[in-house]
Amino acid sequence: MKTAVVYFSLGGATRSFARAEANARGADLLEAVPEKKYNPFSALVRGCPAAMRQKSVPLSQAPDLTGYERIVLMAPVWGGFPAPPFNSIAGLLPRGAEVEALLVSASGSSEKSRAKVRALLEAQGCRVVAQRDIRSHR
């Protein structure tokens, strides 16, 4: 099964987890890069409110997901929801793909957004096969 691990990372933690996930699966590693870069301040002031409203952002580097049967989406959690580039990637998903959502946070929980994330992915015509939280700090 052709698999891609697609990620957005602000500070590098999600990138590290995405690399490990891609290596473990023998999957392609694809990065989504927003047109307007985030820094810690803009992630808090601009990114968290957008994440909580499940807004997407334009991507300057959008991965081509054609031909992938399974897609693993990875992003940090901001304000309890995936960062806005996650929503942008969701908009690129091919219908019928199997999708896993792996969300990285210091708390290790995206519980309050779980149902909304599933609904977003299913609205794209995808089958959600897993949702998992990854704790970035111990």
Q: Read off the pLDDT of residues 87-100 as tens digits, 9 standing for 90 and up.
A: 999 999 999 999 99
Helical H segments across the chain, by residue range: 13-25, 40-42, 48-52, 84-90, 114-123
Structure confidence at residue 111 (pLDDT):
84
20 near 27, Cβ under 8 Å?
A: no
CA distance linking residue 13 with residue 136, whole number of Å: 7
- Is-contact 103 36, C-beta < 8 A? no
Write the CA distances from 123 to 9, 60, 77, 91, 92, integer angstroms: 24, 24, 21, 9, 12
Tokens 């409203």 belong to 53
Higher pLDDT, 138 or 49: 49
| Mean pLDDT across the chain | 93
Does the pTM exceed 0.85? yes
The count of other CB atoms within 10 Å of the CB of residue 91 is 12
Given a cut of 80, whether residue 36 has pLDDT beyond it is yes
